[in-house]
């Protein structure tokens, strides 16, 4: 199983991650303990001026509709649709519809760090409006750049980005990440879904599906780990932690870039190998 050969400043595999960064990792005490002990290679991925330049090409593809004024009928229609989506698609299964969209430069850096080549088929599980999938298409040679999103509104925005770029490698699907795509068609998955309560269950269902396939995968989780002590302990292993920062920054929690901007979102990417 090939792991990411990231273009970054890498810390020693025996050096523990900053304590605050370790605490920020959700869902898995097992992952936090491994990070605190220094059992997992940790690397810092620099967001560079070159990433900013690629992001300038990416941003127009991701542009959404203009915001409606609060006294506009369209604003009321937007809110009504948002509520309807939540009730029909998220609430019943206890899922969190919170946006997990990456800023363009962050998406480009994450895509670059995945080290995808022409043999790799990539899928973003819970892709929101498609920023990372589009960054993979713009910044890498991946064979496929796909995304699945439960929200129809998010999928519509992602499909608009696909239409603007005209890249045949790109596709988006509206559906549940657990059964909305053919997982066997991909090699590398990224998952940045929110929901502390529901996420372990969703990831457990996903691992069951992936481990049922007779092929290796890479799974990159944004800010959370997975419990691998049970049925899949012999198939799933934590192989790398990655933290983003601006080029020239230090190696502390304060230097780490929150993935969703404005101080929001996870700061540690955990990569799992599924064999």
pLDDT at 81 over 90: no
Distance CA 36, CA 39 (A): 8
What ranges in 13-151 are assigned the alpha helix state H?
Answer: 19-24, 29-37, 49-62, 73-85, 104-113, 131-139
Distance CA 68, CA 77 (A): 10
Mean pLDDT of the chain: 89
Distance CA 58, CA 111 (A): 12
Which pLDDT does position 84 carry in this prediction?
A: 86
Q: Could you tell me if 268 and 21 are in contact, meaning their C-beta atoms sit under 8 angstroms apart?
A: yes
pLDDT at 78 over 70: no
CB proximity list for 51: less than 8 A, separation 6 or greater: 105, 108, 109, 112
Closest to 179 (Cα-Cα) out of 224, 219, 222, 210: 210
Q: Could you tell me if 223 and 258 are in contact, meaning their C-beta atoms sit under 8 angstroms apart?
A: no
pLDDT single digits (tens) 131-168: 999 999 999 999 999 999 999 999 999 999 999 999 99
* Better pLDDT: 196 or 118: 118
Which pLDDT does position 71 carry in this prediction?
A: 66
* Better pLDDT: 228 or 61: 61
Closest to 107 (Cα-Cα) out of 93, 124, 92: 124
In the chain, how long is the greatest CA-to-CA distance? 58
Which pLDDT does position 90 carry in this prediction?
A: 84
Closest to 133 (Cα-Cα) out of 88, 101, 178, 99: 101
The CATH number of the structural domain formed by 9-63+74-274 is 3.40.50.150
pLDDT single digits (tens) 181-211: 999 999 999 999 988 889 999 999 999 999 9
Which pLDDT does position 11 carry in this prediction?
A: 41
Most confident of the following: 4-8, 79-83, 126-130? 126-130
Tokens of 186: 């991909």
Which pLDDT does position 100 carry in this prediction?
A: 85
DSSP 71: T
Q: Where are the domains of the chain?
A: 9-63+74-274
Which pLDDT does position 6 carry in this prediction?
A: 42
What's this model's pTM, rounded to 2 decimal places?
Answer: 0.90
Q: Could you tell me if 140 and 112 are in contact, meaning their C-beta atoms sit under 8 angstroms apart?
A: yes
pLDDT at 10 over 50: no
């Amino acid at each position: 199983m090939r792991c990411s050969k990231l273009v970054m400043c890498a810390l020693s595999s025996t050096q523990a991650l900053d304590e605050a960064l370790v605490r920020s990792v959700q869902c898995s005490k097992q992952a936090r303990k491994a990070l605190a002990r220094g059992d997992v290679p940790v690397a810092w991925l620099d967001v560079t001026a070159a990433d900013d330049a690629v992001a300038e090409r990416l941003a127009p593809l991701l542009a959404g509709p203009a915001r409606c004024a609060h006294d506009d009928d369209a604003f009321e229609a937007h809110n009504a649709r948002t509520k309807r989506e939540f009730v029909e698609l998220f609430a019943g299964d206890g899922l969190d519809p919170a946006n997990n969209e990456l800023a363009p430069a962050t998406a480009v850096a994450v895509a670059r760090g995945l080290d995808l080549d022409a043999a790799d088929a990539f899928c973003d599980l819970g892709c929101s409006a498609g920023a990372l999938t589009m960054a993979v298409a713009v910044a890498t040679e991946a064979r496929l750049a796909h995304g699945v999103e439960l929200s129809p509104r998010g999928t519509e925005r992602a499909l608009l980005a696909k239409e603007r770029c005209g890249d045949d490698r790109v596709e988006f699907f509206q559906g549940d990440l657990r059964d909305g795509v053919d997982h066997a068609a991909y090699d590398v998955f990224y998952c940045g879904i929110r929901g502390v309560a529901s996420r372990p269950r969703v990831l457990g269902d996903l691992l069951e599906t992936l481990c049922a396939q007779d092929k290796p995968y890479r799974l990159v989780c944004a800010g959370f780990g997975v419990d691998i002590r049970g049925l899949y302990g012999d198939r799933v292993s934590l192989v790398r932690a990655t933290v983003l920062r601006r080029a020239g920054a230090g190696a502390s929690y304060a230097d780490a870039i929150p993935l969703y901007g404005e101080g929001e979102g996870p700061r540690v990417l955990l990569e799992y190998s599924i064999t």
